[in-house]
């Protein structure tokens, strides 16, 4: 990473005196997971107002990706989308507005969590974003006999 950072123009583009890789990493470490959710929502709420976005339809998808490292706490051994077993995986879920394709939120899940479980989790996230109506369309990766969706009356 230090070699990559030295070849970028981040310091010049961002006009930050003394920008270093260490300062960037420290800035990310400053954010706590619970604050990230709040921050994502605040950013979306601001963008929604500024660009008059509709939140009537949300598209959600999840995918897994494997890691080569051994230190990611979310990385769990599992079977990846290429069918290879035994690599550490993480699940990444993304919710975007249907009309504009603007991200609402992203979530990272342990790699051994089934896609249907991620959907159950993000249903509450939809409610946090005041998504009051919508249609959920999902592919066979999310399908499950036990999936239950509960909506507010």
Given the structure tokens 């420290």, which residue do they identify?
Answer: 26
**Residue 153 confidence class, pLDDT cut points 50, 70, 90:** very low
Pull the structure tokens for residue 9.
Answer: 């123009």
Give me the long-range contacts of 22-25 (CB less than 8 A, separation at least 24).
Answer: none
The string of pLDDT tens digits covering residues 11-29 is: 667 666 677 778 777 877 7
DSSP 28: H
pTM: 0.65
């Amino acid at each position: 990473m230090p070699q990559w950072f030295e070849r970028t123009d981040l310091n010049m583009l961002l006009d930050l005196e003394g920008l270093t890789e260490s300062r960037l990493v420290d800035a990310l470490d400053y954010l706590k997971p619970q604050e990230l959710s709040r921050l994502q929502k605040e950013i979306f709420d601001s963008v929604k107002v500024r660009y008059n976005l509709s939140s009537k339809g949300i598209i959600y998808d999840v995918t897994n990706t494997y890691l080569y490292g051994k230190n990611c706490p979310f990385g769990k051994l599992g079977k990846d989308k290429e069918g290879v077993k035994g690599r550490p995986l993480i699940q990444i879920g993304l919710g975007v507005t249907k009309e504009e394709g603007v991200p609402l939120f992203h979530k990272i899940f342990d790699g051994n969590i089934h896609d249907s479980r991620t959907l159950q989790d993000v249903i509450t996230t939809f409610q946090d974003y005041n998504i009051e109506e919508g249609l959920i369309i999902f592919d066979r990766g999310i399908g499950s006999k036990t999936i239950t969706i509960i909506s507010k009356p």
